[in-house]
């Protein structure tokens, strides 16, 4: 009996210590179906449990000094069990609501605090309480010895609990059952001693316990009526359910929040795949048609292995799938057949590649299920290098990733593209939905282990019977659209994938702000090209960028190329870029801006011989019109006029213009106006809007004087819209007369007006930099121009 009295508390803290770690490990799995199994989820749970334990240690020590009683000690244990059971019910009710209202990064922290802070705090109170009780009843042991024993057994319990959760409980039992069982154990661990101590409130406690158990019993574990299988796997919760896709009965496979596979139920054709990104496995046909050995990393519902086996009678397919149960589940629920040509390995795919002595003709990496589940070690330069080393010559590596084509920093896809190109110089990137889509989508990466060039416009590809292959030329992402130097190469040492995916999800919550920020990112990209005066290297780069962008957004893109001989005898080749939206419309309106920057900072007394960055005076107008073109191209509603977007070259005049503007003329718009017949014949545009310097933070746009004289009706109509949107930006006053790209257009009879903040103090100086620009200003200009275009009758 004395042994039990002396060591009973050690047993209790062992059990409560184990309970803490079981709850901590299982908490990640509880939140993962709602927020993904990400670093945010893991960090939030660990942080909240540690915070709860810290508060519990402090509160427990204070309370133990005031009430050194077994009744209080076991009462806290009983209360922790009830709290855990009660919060299980609350979690089932409120987690779906919380996950709908909080982001992937903030949601886990908020949910962890609501669900796990109080139970963790109560359990944290027990160790200092046990030290106090043991010291009071066995004073000869010494406080140091008592504390050492208590912390030893409590920590040992935590170790056992952690191992038990990971290696036994989660693989064998459901998360719900584990939490309920721990709650019940804690309740009776407190209740039975209290019953022996004749504590009055035990009857009330057992009544509350029974009530909670009844509520749990009559609100059974949530399972969709269409679920055919639902159980926690070793790594994620696995759900298989029946539904409808594309009007056809379909069976879906889901891991936590990630849709990882599907199969049409009305077809036995194993190549009849549901998700478009999985269909890209078939592009091996134009790169490596004779596939003998293939590796699929990530089995999921085994859709791609099944398709390869059905399509290639001689192929041997190896699958690396780390979740042990998926192979058998696919055989049971997804018509996967046993065959000697399929080898399944329950192993991490990267580990398999690293240790394998085989070479493959095709490697398909299908582990990037969704933005909620992107394994970082499959995103790095080292992984791609290992994959390339295991390819045969002419072999192909395919990976389907998820992200958006935003230029905003940081960017998962931009970093991934840059990383991939460092390993696969001969690489291709395909947007499964559209290369001009702003929202997140599947992006298929293709690395070809060969120097052979693949021309996607060849008739054999363009007319291929496989619709995925024949459409490749329309889905390819032209990387000339992007300047990737600022996006970090992802390595095993640095791959903040959860942070990058969190940024994507965050942008989806504030679409309008994200669009404006995209324009600012377009300005930043142009500045990375360097100076963009006529003979500069950056001038050619920005031309390539504009051409690549507009070819994506518009059906017709043409150029006007000519040579200009300056007064000092220098000859420059200039290029106007003309992109046409809605080309069948006869009535047309022109949107224009210039893309060249000024060479010499003639307004800058300290650095008159340095080039002008041209953030506002050059890049801002290009950014607005490029992004506005995307907006117009993706709109389901067409305006009543056709739109020609013209990027004028040489607006800053001759390269070595200097500060003497007596003979200055905007070269590109002047040439355009003189050669108007080349594009329009006798059908001139009904009007034109020219943008110049529209991104400064304190944006003020006045009615430019010559615009009001030459296009009075257009100016008034535009300003009516502008004033309603933001009267602080669109000043209802006539400003000074300015000679700009609209001037030559007005001279040839096209009613044209200029949008410019001529009060911007930094133009033609080295201070015309990105920090002077505002996304909000550009968003305002783009919105009002857009609304004006749609107001034209």
Domains and CATH numbers, the chain: 2-218 (1.20.1250), 275-500 (3.40.50.150), 510-791 (3.40.630.10)
Cβ within 8 Å of residue 577, ≥6 positions away: 543, 546, 547, 550, 557, 558, 559, 595, 646, 647
Pairing relation of β-strands 687-691 and 588-594?
parallel
Sheet with 752-755: list strands edge to edge. 556-565, 571-581, 642-648, 588-594, 687-691, 752-755
Rounded Cα–Cα distance for residues 379 and 153 (Å): 41
Tally: H helices and E strands in the chain: 28, 19
pLDDT of 369 > 80? The answer is no
Which range, of 203-217, 262-276, 371-385, 552-566, averages the lowest pLDDT?
203-217
Q: Which of the 8 DSSP states describes residue 167?
A: I
In this structure, how many other beta carbons lie within 10 angstroms of the beta carbon of residue 606? 8
| CA dihedral over 582, 583, 584, 585, signed as positive or negative | positive
Provide the β-strand partners of residue 590: 644, 688
pLDDT of 101 > 90? The answer is no
**pLDDT at site 1:** 39
What is the residue whose two structure tokens read 């901590």? 24
Residue 131: name the closest of 53, 64, 54 by CA: 64
pLDDT band at 370 (very low <50, low <70, confident <90, very high): low
Q: Determine the average pLDDT of the residues in 515-544.
A: 96
List, in sequence order, the alpha helices (H) in 554-666: 620-633
**pLDDT at site 705:** 97
List, in sequence order, the alpha helices (H) in 397-466: 412-423, 459-462
Q: Determine the average pLDDT of the residues in 587-592.
A: 98
Asked if 706 and 743 count as a contact pair (C-beta separation under 8 A), the reply is yes
Phi and psi, residue 427, nearest 5°: -130, 155
Rounded Cα–Cα distance for residues 438 and 552 (Å): 13
Tell me how far CA of residue 742 lies from CA of 267, 588, 692, in angstroms: 61, 16, 10
Instruction: Please state, for a pLDDT cut of 70, what percent of the chain lies above it.
Output: 95
**Alpha-carbon Rg for the chain in angstroms:** 33
**Token digits for 344?**
């399944």
Residues 481, 635, 580, 692, Cα dihedral to 10°: -70
pLDDT of 220 > 60? The answer is no
Q: Determine the average pLDDT of the residues in 408-413.
A: 91
Burial of 69 (0-12, 13-18, 19+ CB in 10 A): middle
pLDDT band at 46 (very low <50, low <70, confident <90, very high): very high
**Token digits for 42?**
């893991």
**pLDDT at site 688:** 98
Asked if 334 and 302 count as a contact pair (C-beta separation under 8 A), the reply is yes
pLDDT band at 340 (very low <50, low <70, confident <90, very high): very high
Rounded to 5 degrees, what angle do the CA atoms 95, 100, 103 make?
A: 100
Rounded Cα–Cα distance for residues 366 and 136 (Å): 60
Rounded to 5 degrees, what angle do the CA atoms 784, 787, 788 make?
A: 85
Cβ within 8 Å of residue 161, ≥6 positions away: 17, 18, 19, 20, 21, 22, 25
Phi and psi, residue 476, nearest 5°: -65, 140
Rounded Cα–Cα distance for residues 161 and 15 (Å): 8
The model's pLDDT over 129-140, given as tens digits with 9 standing for 90+, comes to 999 998 887 776
The model's pLDDT over 261-284, given as tens digits with 9 standing for 90+, comes to 999 999 999 999 999 999 999 999
Of 377 and 577, which is predicted with more confidence?
A: 577
Rounded Cα–Cα distance for residues 712 and 706 (Å): 9
Sheet with 258-264: list strands edge to edge. 227-232, 237-245, 248-255, 258-264
pLDDT band at 205 (very low <50, low <70, confident <90, very high): confident
The pTM of the full predicted model, rounded to 2 decimals, is: 0.83
Rounded Cα–Cα distance for residues 209 and 80 (Å): 12
pLDDT of 37 > 80? The answer is no
pLDDT band at 658 (very low <50, low <70, confident <90, very high): low
Helix (H) or strand (E) holding 588, with range, is strand 588-594
Rounded Cα–Cα distance for residues 146 and 137 (Å): 11
Rounded to 5 degrees, what angle do the CA atoms 672, 678, 682 make?
A: 100
**pLDDT at site 605:** 75
Rounded Cα–Cα distance for residues 655 and 653 (Å): 6
**pLDDT at site 507:** 63
Q: Is 678 helix (H, G, I), strand (E, B) or coil?
A: helix
Rounded Cα–Cα distance for residues 350 and 348 (Å): 6
Asked if 251 and 240 count as a contact pair (C-beta separation under 8 A), the reply is yes
**Token digits for 349?**
């795919």
**Token digits for 771?**
């920090």
Q: Determine the average pLDDT of the residues in 695-715.
A: 97
Longest dimension (CA), the chain: 110
Q: Determine the average pLDDT of the residues in 505-529.
A: 81
Sheet with 360-365: list strands edge to edge. 342-345, 316-320, 293-297, 360-365, 391-403, 441-448, 427-431
Q: Is 251 helix (H, G, I), strand (E, B) or coil?
A: strand
Tell me how far CA of residue 419 lies from CA of 297, 426, 485, 727, in angstroms: 19, 13, 11, 46
Rounded Cα–Cα distance for residues 443 and 453 (Å): 21
Q: Is 311 helix (H, G, I), strand (E, B) or coil?
A: helix
Rounded Cα–Cα distance for residues 547 and 305 (Å): 40
pLDDT band at 98 (very low <50, low <70, confident <90, very high): confident
**Token digits for 473?**
């030329």
Q: Determine the average pLDDT of the residues in 149-167.
A: 91
List, in sequence order, the alpha helices (H) in 36-169: 39-66, 70-101, 107-124, 126-137, 143-164
| CA dihedral over 164, 170, 172, 173, signed as positive or negative | positive
pLDDT of 168 > 90? The answer is no
Rounded Cα–Cα distance for residues 178 and 170 (Å): 8
Q: Look over the chain and give the mean of its residue pLDDT values, rounded to a whole number.
A: 91
Q: Which of the 8 DSSP states describes residue 773?
A: B
Q: Which of the 8 DSSP states describes residue 201?
A: T
DSSP 89-101: HHHHHHHHHHHHH
Rounded Cα–Cα distance for residues 201 and 207 (Å): 10
Residue 445: name the closest of 490, 410, 408 by CA: 490
Beta strand residue intervals within 366-472, DSSP E: 391-403, 427-431, 441-448
Q: Determine the average pLDDT of the residues in 331-360.
A: 94
Rounded Cα–Cα distance for residues 64 and 66 (Å): 5
pLDDT of 77 > 60? The answer is yes
List, in sequence order, the alpha helices (H) in 705-770: 705-710, 712-726, 742-747
The model's pLDDT over 755-793, given as tens digits with 9 standing for 90+, comes to 999 999 999 999 999 999 999 999 999 999 999 999 999
């Amino acid at each position: 009996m004395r042994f039990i009295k002396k060591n009973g508390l050690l047993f209790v803290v062992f059990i409560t210590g184990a309970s803490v770690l079981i709850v901590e490990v299982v908490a990640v799995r509880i939140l993962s179906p709602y927020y993904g199994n990400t670093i945010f989820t893991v960090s939030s749970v660990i942080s909240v449990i540690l915070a709860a334990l810290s508060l519990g240690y402090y509160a427990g020590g204070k309370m133990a000094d005031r009430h050194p009683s077994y009744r209080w000690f076991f009462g806290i244990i009983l209360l922790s069990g009830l709290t855990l059971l009660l919060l299980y019910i609350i979690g089932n009710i409120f987690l779906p609501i919380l996950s709908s209202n909080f982001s992937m990064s903030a949601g886990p922290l908020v949910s962890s605090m609501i669900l796990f802070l109080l139970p963790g705090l109560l359990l944290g109170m027990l160790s200092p309480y046990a030290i106090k009780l043991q010291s009071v009843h066995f004073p000869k042991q010494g406080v140091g010895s008592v504390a050492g024993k208590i912390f030893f057994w409590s920590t040992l319990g935590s170790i056992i609990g952690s191992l038990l959760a990971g290696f036994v409980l989660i693989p064998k039992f459901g998360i719900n059952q584990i939490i309920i069982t721990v709650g019940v154990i804690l309740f009776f661990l407190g209740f039975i001693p209290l019953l022996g101590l004749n504590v009055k409130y035990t009857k009330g406690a057992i009544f509350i316990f029974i009530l909670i158990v009844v509520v749990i019993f009559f609100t059974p574990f949530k399972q969709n009526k269409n679920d055919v299988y639902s159980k926690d796997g070793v790594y994620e919760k696995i759900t298989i359910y029946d539904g409808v896709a594309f009007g056809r009965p379909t069976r879906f496979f889901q891991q936590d929040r990630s849709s990882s596979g599907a199969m049409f139920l009305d077809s036995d054709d194993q190549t009849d795949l549901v998700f478009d990104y999985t269909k890209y496995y078939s592009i091996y046909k134009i790169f490596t048609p004779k596939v003998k050995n293939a590796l699929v990393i990530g089995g999921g519902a085994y859709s791609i292995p099944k398709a390869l086996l059905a399509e290639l009678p001689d192929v041997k397919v190896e699958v690396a799938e780390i979740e042990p149960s998926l192979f058998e589940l696919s055989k049971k629920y997804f018509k996967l057949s046993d065959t000697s040509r399929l080898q399944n390995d329950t192993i991490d795919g990267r580990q398999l590649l690293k240790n394998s002595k085989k070479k493959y003709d095709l490697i398909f990496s299908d582990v990037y299920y969704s933005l909620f589940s992107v394994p970082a070690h499959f995103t790095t330069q080292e992984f791609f290098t290992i994959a390339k080393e295991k390819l045969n010559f002419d072999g192909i590596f395919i990976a389907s990733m998820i992200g958006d084509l935003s230029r905003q920093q940081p960017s998962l896809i931009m970093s991934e593209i840059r990383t991939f190109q460092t390993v696969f110089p001969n690489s291709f990137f395909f947007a499964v939905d559209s290369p001009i889509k702003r929202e997140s989508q599947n992006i298929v990466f293709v690395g070809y282990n060969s120097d052979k060039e693949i021309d996607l416009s060849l008739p054999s590809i363009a007319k291929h019977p496989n619709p995925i292959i024949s459409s490749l030329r329309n889905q390819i992402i032209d990387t000339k659209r992007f300047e990737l130097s600022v996006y970090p190469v992802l390595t095993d040492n640095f791959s903040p994938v959860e942070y990058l995916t969190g940024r994507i999800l965050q942008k989806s919550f504030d679409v309008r702000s994200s669009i404006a920020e995209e324009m600012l990112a377009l300005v930043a990209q142009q500045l990375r090209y360097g100076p963009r005066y006529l003979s500069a290297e950056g001038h050619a780069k920005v031309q390539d960028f504009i051409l690549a962008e507009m070819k994506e957004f518009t059906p017709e893109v043409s150029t006007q190329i000519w040579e200009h001989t300056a007064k000092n005898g220098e000859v420059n080749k200039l290029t106007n870029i003309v992109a046409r939206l809605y080309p069948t419309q006869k009535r047309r309106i022109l949107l224009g801006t210039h893309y060249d920057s000024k060479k010499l900072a003639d307004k800058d007394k300290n650095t008159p011989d340095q080039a002008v960055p041209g953030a506002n005076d050059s890049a801002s107008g290009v950014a607005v019109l490029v992004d506005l073109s995307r907006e117009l191209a993706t709109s389901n509603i067409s305006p009543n006029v056709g739109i020609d977007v013209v990027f004028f070259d040489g607006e800053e005049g001759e390269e070595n213009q200097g500060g003497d503007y007596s003979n200055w003329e905007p070269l590109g718009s002047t040439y355009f106006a003189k050669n108007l017949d080349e594009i329009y014949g006798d059908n001139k545009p009904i009007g034109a809007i020219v943008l110049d310097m529209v991104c400064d933070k304190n944006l003020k746009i006045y009615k430019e004087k010559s615009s009001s004289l030459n296009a009075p009706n257009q100016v008034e109509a535009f300003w009516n819209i502008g004033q309603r949107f933001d009267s602080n930006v669109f000043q209802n006053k006539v400003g000074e007369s300015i000679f700009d790209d609209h001037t030559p257009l007005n001279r040839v009879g096209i009613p044209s007006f200029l949008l410019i903040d001529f009060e911007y103090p930094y133009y033609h100086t080295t201070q015309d930099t990105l920090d002077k620009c505002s996304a909000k200003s550009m968003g305002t200009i783009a919105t009002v121009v857009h609304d004006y275009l749609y107001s034209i009758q």
